[in-house]
Amino acid sequence: MTMKLISVTEISGSVSATFSSIPSIYTDLMILCSLRDNGAGAYHNLYLKFNGSAANYSNMHLYGNGSAADWSSSASEYLGNIVTGNSSTANTFSNIQIYVPDYATSKQKPFSYNGVTENNSSAAFFAFGSSLWANTAAINSFTIGNNSDAFSTGSTVSIYGITKGSGGASVA
């Protein structure tokens, strides 16, 4: 298995970021985000749209804050309150990983994600999710955003292409 960095982007100043022309040569995609926005509040919701589409998503996720844990299901492009907001401790960011297997195939696209905000108080949020984008188009772009508030300086998105190994042998 190999892991290749496709791009690293600081998205500060934008309310959303679209990553286009994603190469189709890999097996899976892994997206790592370190995010904070300028909006009031400890955390905000993050959406993820593949190929610009806000339709045909279903999510099941476990989430919690400093005092309770719960689960929910939804049929939307929103992943949960996993963007650290500007009321959180200064200079803290959320950690988010999104994994999309077989992103370039003509199958429907299941994906998983986990995210946790950072805050030196009880108002922090985490979410683990299992999702499906019920669309058979190969993914060549995705957009993340929060609708309202610009991402803060230092907010970054890294995209990796994962290539499967073969026959159990290590692949350089």
Partner 1 sequence: MSEKKFNLIKNCETQEETLVEFTAEEYAQAEANALALAEAESRRQAEAEALEALKVSARAKLVAGQPLTAEEAATLVL
Which of 8-16, 93-101, 109-117, 164-172 is the region at the interface with partner 1 (rule: CB under 8 A)?
A: 8-16
Q: Which of residues 132-161 bind partner 1 (CB under 8 A)?
A: 143, 145, 147-148, 150, 159
Q: Which of residues 13-42 bind partner 1 (CB under 8 A)?
A: 13-23
- In order of 52, 76, 78, 120, the CA distances from 60 in angstroms are 21, 11, 11, 28
**Using CB under 8 A, which of 3, 7, 153, 171 touches partner 1?**
7
Closest CA to 148 of 72, 19, 43: 43
130 near 100, Cβ under 8 Å? no
| 104: contact with partner 1 by CB under 8 A | no
**Using CB under 8 A, which of 78, 93, 111, 126 touches partner 1?**
78
Closest approach of partner 1 to the CB of residue 168, in Å: 31
Taking the CA of residue 170 as centre, how many other CA atoms within 13 Å lie in the half-sphere pointing to its CB? 1
| 45: contact with partner 1 by CB under 8 A | yes
